[in-house]
Structures are given as C-alpha cells and as structure tokens.
Structure 1
C-alpha cells in the first residue's frame, strides 16, 4: 500500500502551468515529484474525486487535469474510479456539460455518482452519510480547482472531500451545521480524518476568485500542485495566495486537531519543485464576509427538484 509519508515528511510539488495544453507535460512531473514510491499504488483501489459542484466549467476541476491524473494512476497500476455527488444536478450531467466524460472516455473510465451512503460517525459527535465507494476505497485522490468560497473563504483539497457525502444530504448538512462556521469547519476536518487516506491535486491553471464555489470570477493563477498530504498542500496554497491561515475556518479547525504543518509528525513540508514564495501572488481576492446560511429551505427545495428533473433526463 502507498506510504503517505515515505520519507517522514510531506512533499508538496508546485509547478507553473498556464494553459491546459501544458497539462500532459507538467502534471506527470508534478505527480512524480509529489508521490515518490508510487509502486505502492499498484492494485490500489483509488477513488478520484473531482470537483463537479455545478455545470459551469470554471466551477469544476479542469477535465484534462482529471484525465491526466487518472492516466498517471493507471500507469502506476492503480484501479481507478472517478465519482462525485454534486449538490445541484447529477455527477453524470455535470460531467457531460463540462467535457469530463469525453476526456475520460479514452481511458475506459466514466464518472459515477457517489451514492449508496453509509453512516460515518465523526469525532465531532455528528454522523455524515458518506458514499460506500468513498469509504471502501484504499485511497482517495481529491482533485479540486483552487476557488474562493462564500462560506469557507477558500475551498481546496480538504474541503473537496465534503463531496463524498451523498447528494442532497450535503445541502441538508450545510443548512444544519453550516450556521455555526467553526463547528461546520470542525466537521469537515473530522470527515477528512475519518476517510481512507486522502491525497491531493490542485488545479490552479485558472482559479476562481472574488466569491465561489460556483459564481466567482476567473483568475489566471497558472499552477498545478500535488501532495500526499492535503493539509500541507492546502497550506502551501494559502501561503502563495497570501491568505493567512487564521482567516480560513477549515485551516483553523485542522490546526485545532494538531494537523497544521504536519504537527503530529513534527515536520514541515519539502518543496522539490517551486516554493510558495516563488509563485506568490497578491491580487487574488476572497470573500471578506462569510455567508454561513447558504442553504435556506427554499434553495434546498429547488435543489431537490432540479436533481429529480436531471435524473429523469439521464
């Protein structure tokens, strides 16, 4: 099985990638640098979990990035499945609209729905209905686009794991737990910790800023980054965006768990390619004021009806 920290320290690989046409060249280099000892992936059941929040291309992980990750994993001998469970629409519908189904077809893969939930008790005292596929995978690869987030300020590889909660149940959790931002962030951190080991890939070719996760504005960040440690990966991106970790509720929740900077291992990340300082930007914008009640009953009903309609179309 793949050793998340083969050298006793998290490795974060960051490389410039300003166009999707560069993905085929840059992404394997990033993954090779971030994940030494990849022979441990042979025969591993890996769930690739992209961000398919809605049928807007900028809201989703770039299809060529997802397909490139899947190709690399298959070359290592992993058994790959690609799945998500959007809050609005279905995974298959969103994948068709943004071109992910076409990008995966040459690999013999298709996007699946993260359904068949099983109760997963978190150490925060709540139970999340998490898809069976996510819970039964050997590894999860969180492949998210770098985006601002109206409720969590930024959404990166750890937040992307919330998509393992099945379908409309995410909206219900947003409604219930989301009104207390600190507790909601604690639940997200606890979910990440309760899942099988999660590796991270961040698509920062064109990021989303100002707001998000679906209605923000494009930002030409021009980066790809990966790590076996989602926490180390996300913290590196906070640093290069110039966002203090104490302004990100999820980062604070992870720090309270002793996860920030891999404190449980007493080590700091290593950057074999570029450091966050070398690619730092200062004009990326995120929400100043966070909205903690984004799923009101009316919006929840609308989401339910939309999913039913799209399921019938599929």
Structure 2
C-alpha cells in the first residue's frame, strides 16, 4: 500500500534565499516541482490572507514563502497567480499590507481577487452535495495551497484543509457558518468537502513563525517554530503538524471527521515522514486554544438552560475595543449590536468566533462557561 508522504524541513527565518532553498528541497523530496506543475499551466497560489496585517504579526502567509513558490512555478514554465478571498477587503488590498503584493510585483506575478461566487454540484461530496466556490479558483489549471500555521478558536488549528475555505467568496462565508451552526464537526465536513472538490496539487505550510493562543487573528501570539511542511495530501499533513505541535489527533475536527468518514490517512504510523525526524522537531509547550466550538449534546429540555454554562463564548474587552463595527458586520447570525459598547446575544450566538478572528485590535477573547470550567478541571 502506498502511504502519503509529508515532508518536514527546518528553516529558522525568512531570508528569501534560505526559504527558497528549503522549499525547493522539500518539493524535491516529493518528486520536484515538475511533478505538480507543467509548462504553460496557470497555477493559483492560495496563501492565507485573513486580514490586512504586517508579516511580523504571523496572521498571513509570509511573503518570503509566497515568493519562493512563485519562483518555483515560473522555473517550471508555468504562470503563477496569487489569490484569496479575505473575510474583509480584497486580496489585492490585503496583500499590499502583508507584503505579498510587493513580492508578486517584483517577480512578475499577478494578485487576483477570488470574488465571483458560483454554485457547483459536488456529487462525490460526503456531506455537502452542493458548494459555493469562487469561480476564479476553478478557472486555473491547478492550485498550490500555502497556509499559515495558526491556532483557530473554532477549528483548533488552521492548516491545509481549512485554508481552502479561502476559495469561498468572503461575502458568502457567513452563510456556510450558519449552515453548520454551532456544530464544529458539521463545519469540518464542509471544509473537507471543499478541499476534496478543489484538491490542491501541493500544500506548503508556513510554520517558520506560527501563531499560538487565541488565533487565527490579532488575539493570537506569534511563535517561532522554524519549520516548513509540504505534502500533496492535506489530511495526512494536518495530522503530522498536529502531532509535531503536541496535539491529539481528534483535537482537530477535520482530522476526526476524516477518520470517521474514512477519508484520507489519519494514522500517524501510516504516513511516510520525510526530511526531519518527527521526534527531533516536536514542540512540548505550544499554546493551543481551548476547545470551544464543540457543544455538549444536551436534551432539548435542558438546552436553553445549560448551553451558556456548558460552552465557551466570545467576550469583548471594552478597554481595547475601538467600536470599529467589524465584528458586528461580520457576525453570521447577526446577533451583535453596537451602542456605547458591543453587545452579544449569547442565546443566539453560534460560537463560530468570526468576531474574534476578524477583530483588528485583539479585543475579543474566549471565556468558558462556569459549568464547563468546573467539568474541565475534574
């Protein structure tokens, strides 16, 4: 049986040539860039462009990583395009702030907005038989996925599978959060169906500096990790990254769902790890977010009484909040309002934590319900 390959390589900083050499050596272990890109093809490079932040914030894929992959694609005789669909703003504007636009311009690559939403049939989907995908992501010959290694308050980590959610147009993302509701496993199944539909040819995770704590936005803390990961199989690769960081397989909802639905390989012992020995790169003190997006299964008669005490919720730090209204505008169920402060209707909150994700000030954090805190301490 052929097990999936995942490459782990060390890279300590974002010096352009060092990043290029490291990524090239990683891809060479997988068969070389020619195994993924052919001459004349148009290849979408899909970084994480969550929001307009500088590279040192570790919220977006670093421009040195994007630049290295642009060069590899060009060396293969293909045409690289850099694109995403941020939750707020356009890929073009966000890429200017995070340094990717300048790198793309220097290398002669175009940055495009994934902005045209189309409905597509997904007959092979395990759960979602119809998806809404950016048309631009389907008009290329192939995709190279470039996620940033970050924590995620709803999905535990945002890695290869989750990064493909950026191919859903930003304005349509709230609809999919609402479709899944407060069930993180339902949302994970949508993410996996989207990933399998688009099936990037290659994924390279920027883990040179990652984000820990209350990610994936300004609430998280940059963390030096010094690693890059590469694979053609996101499910296997996400499992390896979780293992390196010290997480458990089922902590990551997409991994748990993939195992339950027999999609891909989630057994760490059935994944070929190339490059560094995994035992030499394990991290013992990485700060994960609390598992806040998965509710206890309650009888209907008790749900309204125990939902808030048993679940975590977003809370506003009014001293740091600037009342910019971004969280109110982005909230999928529209249960946030602005007066002299931001108010949240917790009875209707679906715990998607989009507000925390998009807050530019890091003024939103996570607080466990009182009963959840007691149970967690037992």
Whether the TM-score (by the shorter chain) exceeds 0.5 is yes
CA RMSD of aligned residues (A): 2.5
Q: How does 1:134-213 map to 2 (within 5 A)?
A: 134-213=137-216
Distance 1:300 1:192 in 2: 34
Are the aligned partners of 2:36 and 2:202 in contact in 1 as well (CA < 8 Å)?
no
In the alignment, does 2:121 pair up with 1:121?
yes
Structure 1 match to 2:284: 282
Are the aligned partners of 1:139 and 1:199 in contact in 2 as well (CA < 8 Å)?
no
Report the alpha carbon displacement of residue 107 of structure 1 after superposing the two structures with TM.
1.6
Are the aligned partners of 2:20 and 2:69 in contact in 1 as well (CA < 8 Å)?
no
Label 1:285 to 1:178 Cα distance change in 2 as closer, same or farther (>3 A). farther
Distance 1:111 1:105 in 2: 8
Aligned length: 294
Report the alpha carbon displacement of residue 40 of structure 1 after superposing the two structures with TM.
5.5
Name the larger-Rg structure: 2
* Other structure's SS at 1:168 match: helix
In the alignment, does 2:53 pair up with 1:56?
yes
Structure 1 match to 2:346: none
Are the aligned partners of 1:181 and 1:249 in contact in 2 as well (CA < 8 Å)?
yes
Structure 2 match to 1:34: 30
Label 1:299 to 1:138 Cα distance change in 2 as closer, same or farther (>3 A). farther
* Other structure's SS at 2:273 match: coil
1:46 pairs with one of 43, 68, 88: 43
* Other structure's SS at 1:297 match: coil
In the alignment, does 2:6 pair up with 1:12?
yes
Label 1:262 to 1:176 Cα distance change in 2 as closer, same or farther (>3 A). closer
TM-score under structure 2 length normalisation: 0.72
In the alignment, does 2:78 pair up with 1:75?
no
1:250 pairs with one of 244, 247, 254: 254
Map Cα deviations across residues 253-301 of structure 1 (whole Å, 9 max, x no partner).
12223234278xxx93323311322210011111123247874415699
Label 1:108 to 1:202 Cα distance change in 2 as closer, same or farther (>3 A). same
Q: Structure 2 stretches of 5 or more lacking a match?
A: 295-312, 314-330, 343-353, 355-378
Distance 1:240 1:113 in 2: 33
Q: Which has the higher helix share?
A: 1
Report the alpha carbon displacement of residue 121 of structure 1 after superposing the two structures with TM.
3.4
Are the aligned partners of 2:49 and 2:95 in contact in 1 as well (CA < 8 Å)?
yes
Higher relative contact order (CA closer than 8 Å, sequence separation 6+): 1
Are the aligned partners of 2:80 and 2:110 in contact in 1 as well (CA < 8 Å)?
no
Distance 2:97 2:264 in 1: 37
**Residue range with higher mean Cα deviation, 224-233 or 168-177:** 168-177
**Residue range with higher mean Cα deviation, 96-105 or 72-81:** 72-81
* Other structure's SS at 1:176 match: helix
Q: Structure 1 stretches of 5 or more lacking a match?
A: 1-6, 304-314
Are the aligned partners of 1:172 and 1:300 in contact in 2 as well (CA < 8 Å)?
no
Distance 1:297 1:121 in 2: 28
Structure 1 match to 2:271: 269
